[in-house]
Structure 1
């Protein structure tokens, strides 16, 4: 057996182990990433889709995204709305405008609203709690998700009490060393991890997530991310390719790949079978069929933009972001048709995390053959 065949056989065994145990060691995750091949990626995607269909069927959940502010006090080196980008066009939606976006989305069939923004000091607890309460009062059958970065435990508790049920805080990387290379010294890896724990303690369904293909990132770094997801088990996980922004220190670095991003999506689906896993806008930005490829790799969420069209280009995290000029109904209609074309359907649903039972656990081919656990 040649070296290539031997390596591929070893990776196939890792895939089988992953499907059997939903867990690998750090070294095994690194090998799974570093020694991937198109054949292995195809196998992994098929297994991930089988897991996803067992838990969620062919439903694709929609989240109505409301980008509330492009002001941010932070200075992350990869982000287009970083504090030091003096050319950024700043805007801030008023509470009335945010509620109006949600009202419009409700009429179009959205039942979850994701209100996100930079870490803008304007959005105090009082302001955000007021927004959340108004949306929940108008639409009690809907879920409200927030994403406003690192806050205090008391803040998270107040937001949860106001009616927000979910909170997205991407950890970006589980490597402290890499985190330090991507962020200013005023931000700390330890604080980001503390916030994730405090969100869970406050009773939120928590969304973590990370970039793929970002500057200085290695297979070992991605292995740390996968192990973190395995152990933390977030209810949601946002994974997208790195895309550079022209006005940041990382402007000259290449984008991450669709191939590697989809490969990682498949692994995460198998590791946490009931995770809510978006096919991100960033994925659709670097490939015209990126979101479809994400769904075919195990994702089950898409996030059309409910923000006013006049401001969408100003929420400029990375270059060439798609869907900045489409009306919401048009975007949702196009997405629905694209999902149908690959055998999935957008649903009018809150899209809550599915409970797992033993019947949701992925059975290996050997188990299926013998009808027993091994």
Structure 2
């Protein structure tokens, strides 16, 4: 069954259910996933410099620590100079991709975002610029692209409409999020999407729906991670996603999307001391150390107990390099673009 998934990049729903629900297949899954990632990317692991520019957000997602209704959150915004300083520090440390991530904050108008993106592009023409700023209209996405942004990350979180509404207020629509992803693709971005593993009310059918949606979208990047509750949200007492299921889904994704850039997320490292290393061994090939100023890192708290909030950028970079090497891989400073889909055929 695993060999069939590797060969065809697809399985019937019933077979996917077996792989998702049964631990008996894990050893084979991880073995084949690692072989495929080495076939496409060797032992290279790409680093993305994460800059969390604001924790203000107009949305009220039930699982998120920076949701609008969390009156206890201490809010902050980085200005253009703050962001460029993060880039300067990151560039000196070897980062060639910068990821500007934040809540959906109306303070950052199209003009402000374009000005920031243009400045980064002018100062670091050899770098990739990734945005992760939530749902926007097509005109905004186009403006950011024309200003110099290359990539856009927008996790769909769950592809099942009923499940989506259990995780969000009624004003937030899965159809809108999906349309944003299609708009981004049509404009020409390298698009990243993904989903939570083990979120409240999630079923195996929901996870299969996530895989089917990704087969339609064919994103360049796929980011998944375990759901971790935040104590100031409606889901504070819910159980979190497990390491086992998260790693299993990483491996399945690698076999279904061999060319994709798949991060070993901070959330994996939060639920297990070796979570990111295990993610790499299950098929991931990206890590995203934090370049944000240390003074604001604890404030960008999407979930509880997030790791690496007190480290300087150089410390975080050095620590990750050692961890990645201990897992049998190596950090590279290239932009890390998507592998050619036909590499297998030469």
Residue 28 of structure 1 is matched in structure 2 by 15
Deviation string for 1:133-181 (max 9, x for gaps)? 1001001000000000000000011110000000000000011110000
**Aligned equivalent of 1:329, options 314, 322, 340:** 314
Residue 142 of structure 2 is matched in structure 1 by 157
Structure 1 residue matching 2:53: 3-state secondary structure:
strand
Task: Give the Cα separation in 2 of the matches to 1:63 and 1:267.
Answer: 23
Task: Give the Cα separation in 2 of the matches to 1:239 and 1:227.
Answer: 15
Residue 225 of structure 2 is matched in structure 1 by 240
Out of 172-181 and 222-231, give the one that drifted further: 222-231
Task: Give the Cα separation in 2 of the matches to 1:60 and 1:200.
Answer: 25
User: Which stretches of structure 1, 4 residues or more, deviate above 4 A after TM superposition?
Assistant: none
Query: RMSD over aligned Cα, in angstroms?
Result: 1.0
Residue 346 of structure 1 is matched in structure 2 by 331
Residue 8 of structure 1 is matched in structure 2 by none
Q: Which runs of 5+ in 2 are unaligned?
A: none
Residue 65 of structure 1 is matched in structure 2 by 50
- The 8 Å contact of residues 40 and 343 in structure 2, kept in 1 or not, is answered as no
Task: Give the Cα separation in 2 of the matches to 1:217 and 1:259.
Answer: 15
Q: Which runs of 5+ in 1 are unaligned?
A: 1-12, 362-374
Task: Give the Cα separation in 1 of the matches to 2:65 and 2:343.
Answer: 44
Matched, 1:101 2:81: no
Residue 256 of structure 2 is matched in structure 1 by 271
Task: Give the Cα separation in 2 of the matches to 1:160 and 1:218.
Answer: 36
Deviation string for 1:232-284 (max 9, x for gaps)? 11100110000000000000011111110000000001101010000000000
- Aligned pairs for 1:1-374 (under 5 A) are 13=1, 15-34=2-21, 36-37=22-23, 39-357=24-342, 359=344
Structure 1 residue matching 2:195: 3-state secondary structure:
strand
Query: Cα 1:358–1:61, aligned 2, differ >3 Å: closer, same or farther?
Result: closer
Task: Give the Cα separation in 1 of the matches to 2:228 and 2:201.
Answer: 14
TM-score by length of 1: 0.91
Task: Give the Cα separation in 2 of the matches to 1:281 and 1:205.
Answer: 22
How many angstroms does 1:32 deviate by? 2.3
- The 8 Å contact of residues 29 and 226 in structure 1, kept in 2 or not, is answered as no
How many angstroms does 1:31 deviate by? 3.0
- The 8 Å contact of residues 70 and 91 in structure 1, kept in 2 or not, is answered as yes
Task: Give the Cα separation in 2 of the matches to 1:224 and 1:264.
Answer: 13
Task: Give the Cα separation in 2 of the matches to 1:235 and 1:312.
Answer: 27
How many residue pairs match? The answer is 346
How many angstroms does 1:20 deviate by? 1.7
How many angstroms does 1:127 deviate by? 0.5
**Higher radius of gyration, 1 or 2:** 1
TM-score by length of 2: 0.98
Task: Give the Cα separation in 2 of the matches to 1:186 and 1:229.
Answer: 24
How many angstroms does 1:25 deviate by? 2.8
How many angstroms does 1:96 deviate by? 1.2
